[in-house]
Structure 1
């Protein structure tokens, strides 16, 4: 059983909802104000350079404004994504108040929380699982081998928190799976046809070529510790407490893997599908649709305006819907200073509240973990990330309660299986620093 959630599907709704958010509206106004100050100060700086005069005061002012734009834009996008994540969670989970849970799920949640807090009721947890009284997606747990599956509401809480922290979860598609892995069947086409006369023989034609691709999975874990006082406090939401303890570490590990993971006991990152890396793999391990195409910047050590135009127009028209640029904050700063041949800045602030900034008319998002601009690196991606990359969450999160190893603390060995890889390379492009020499 799988469940596919595309975070990007709700972005248009966010634009409407964001108008009612004072935080988003204020950040939108601040960002546009900072941008006007940046342009004015940058023009002053250009005039000083033309006059061969470099005023330190202007330089420092420009640097402060530039840093302010970067911070404001990051906060602005984070607020939009927070609203987006909450809306997606409500759409998929039926609300977060537990009202959509089945009677069996609510009962299991109460039983599990009693065991989590006190260590008592372990037999009740086992009985609930073995009796099949909870969602079929849960597997039979064995405390001696890795813990018990957490209630579905706990799993949702931690997943929702990771969406707000892990950048790739905001943009890629996310699919829930119940097995240990996921294999997709790709149709490589190849079906042929022929023209014949009315009474001519009709020899057999070639059929479609099918190929499979197994996505890389790994197990991510953390071991938060709690005092007895915390566990005995009935006012503390234990699902929220566990989420606050593990989500930052989970998000950090995931973020690194989704960008540059090698696929060994972890997801395979989006930057690992270049032609050189794919060609070095055994044929059976290569992606059936081939590597991601790349466009050179046109400069051996940096970015160029012409190169960005080439990048955007290299994506076929039928693959350009929902496309955006992705880069880290340092690269954003570089692009923000770039101009076209008519002395217009390539980067423009959002035109309306709830929408991202744009470069050459295309949305641009901050994606932590992307490389800095340097010779041979890929500092920018362009495409529809939801169509290009897929994240797999195995349904269920296991928790092992350990009150013995580190007394007086109780340790909670928390683990979850996560996968990821390229879904379709035709929807995205690499922008590699180089001039082809």
Structure 2
């Protein structure tokens, strides 16, 4: 082991220890939550829940949410590469040229690579493609930060629009004897789904001292600066985007009761209570939602809801007195609800009359994210002197590709 690696070992060990301690604290808090919630349920059955007990349960539930978020942040922090270069490995020629452009604005080297790429909408707004390593790092981090991207299908394209055909009516088929005549079958009817890519941008600012510091890897700096901004905007669009200059979210499609479901709409199961789960046996409606999904989709299904909704279902038990919500088995893993992983997406709506705060389905088959290859950066040293702005753009689209793979729980009577 080199001296450099020996110097870094205590830091890695410390980060792992911190994560382990945070997870142990989370599990201890969950045990306290179960004890307090059991007391609340016992009081409800006898004389009515004490106000202090209810407040204690809610307080511990909020602490669980905060501790889970802290664990996730520690996991991401441990996975994030350092901004400094650990070894003098020779960068690619593209990376060297891009680094020169970022630090000084000198684009002669990068221009020689013919990487100048004009924006899709306007030819005069130029930009330069980031190195492949940087684009891959941004994509990897987005998959960790963006809730829906982490469970959906992602496809890279080079065109502005992805068009995907699907069969509305398949060909006629049937059984026939070995020597009998084969009548001609009907031709399948095809339709087309279209997934246009829209521009997503971020504009991190750098100081002169940062740009002059040769130890700082500017590729890594760009990745770390734009990833959170990209993930936040993507997360909202993939859930509820209207498809106008942004991806179309799965909650923006027409919703219909499961009994009346047809292709092109998202089916839902109603709770039967306006703005809430049923007071009696609320777990039954969750079971109904699970089995509204065909068996082929259930194998890879996930729950999707926000923090407030998760806090409410965390208090539920089944008929045998077992909690429906279970904590993650290890740090960095997901909690489970009735045996299926739970993805926390803050852009899901809160519980309310006729809202759909819970989604359940196989999002890898149900929702498609389309990434156009190439992340572009335009250096702007003029607009916010003395800072240098880096106008960073990527093109992304999204929409439902299989309307049978996602189901919703509607907090309503019909």
- Comparing 235-244 with 259-268, greater Cα deviation is found at 235-244
Take 1:315 and 1:98, find their aligned partners in 2: how far apart are those partners? 53
1:379, distance to aligned residue in structure 2 (A): 0.6
Change (3 A) 1:359 1:406: closer
Partner secondary structure for residue 425 of structure 1: coil
Q: Of residues 64, 70, 77 in structure 1, which corresponds to 2:65?
A: 70
Change (3 A) 1:139 1:36: same
State the partner residue of 1:9. none
Change (3 A) 1:317 1:195: closer
* TM-score (structure 1 length as normaliser): 0.78
Take 2:330 and 2:31, find their aligned partners in 1: how far apart are those partners? 16
State the partner residue of 2:108. 123
1:21, distance to aligned residue in structure 2 (A): 5.5
Take 1:97 and 1:216, find their aligned partners in 2: how far apart are those partners? 41
1:79, distance to aligned residue in structure 2 (A): 5.8
Change (3 A) 1:338 1:98: farther
State the partner residue of 1:297. 271
8 Å Cα contact 1:273-1:291 kept in structure 2:
yes
1:348, distance to aligned residue in structure 2 (A): 2.4
Change (3 A) 1:403 1:415: same
What CA deviation, in whole Å up to 9, does each residue of 1:278-328 have, x standing for no partner?
Answer: xxxxxxxxxx94222211123222123211010011111122111121110
Change (3 A) 1:39 1:107: same
Take 1:53 and 1:369, find their aligned partners in 2: how far apart are those partners? 34
Residues 1:391 and 2:369 aligned together: yes
Which consecutive aligned stretches of 4+ in structure 1 deviate over 6 angstroms post-superposition?
A: 80-83, 96-99, 140-143, 196-200
Partner secondary structure for residue 429 of structure 1: strand
State the partner residue of 1:374. 352
Select the structure that is richer in helix: 1
What CA deviation, in whole Å up to 9, does each residue of 1:327-350 have, x standing for no partner?
Answer: 100000110112233443322234
State the partner residue of 1:178. 158
Take 2:393 and 2:128, find their aligned partners in 1: how far apart are those partners? 10
Task: Structure 1 unaligned segments of length 5 or more: list them.
Answer: 1-19, 90-95, 131-137, 277-287
Instruction: Give the 5 Å matches for 1:232-311.
Output: 232-275=212-255, 289-303=263-277, 304-311=282-289
Instruction: Give the 5 Å matches for 1:126-165.
Output: 126-129=111-114, 139=117, 144-165=124-145
RMSD across aligned positions (CA): 3.2
State the partner residue of 1:134. none
1:160, distance to aligned residue in structure 2 (A): 2.9
8 Å Cα contact 2:197-2:371 kept in structure 1:
no
Take 2:363 and 2:118, find their aligned partners in 1: how far apart are those partners? 35
8 Å Cα contact 1:129-1:140 kept in structure 2:
no
1:257, distance to aligned residue in structure 2 (A): 0.5
1:199, distance to aligned residue in structure 2 (A): 7.7
1:56, distance to aligned residue in structure 2 (A): 5.0
Residues 1:417 and 2:402 aligned together: no
State the partner residue of 1:44. 39
1:109, distance to aligned residue in structure 2 (A): 1.2
8 Å Cα contact 1:183-1:215 kept in structure 2:
yes
* TM-score (structure 2 length as normaliser): 0.82
1:248, distance to aligned residue in structure 2 (A): 2.2
Change (3 A) 1:208 1:228: same
8 Å Cα contact 1:260-1:271 kept in structure 2:
yes
What CA deviation, in whole Å up to 9, does each residue of 1:7-59 have, x standing for no partner?
Answer: xxxxxxxxxxxxx9555654443333222211211233344445547655434
Take 1:391 and 1:224, find their aligned partners in 2: how far apart are those partners? 25
Take 1:50 and 1:392, find their aligned partners in 2: how far apart are those partners? 51
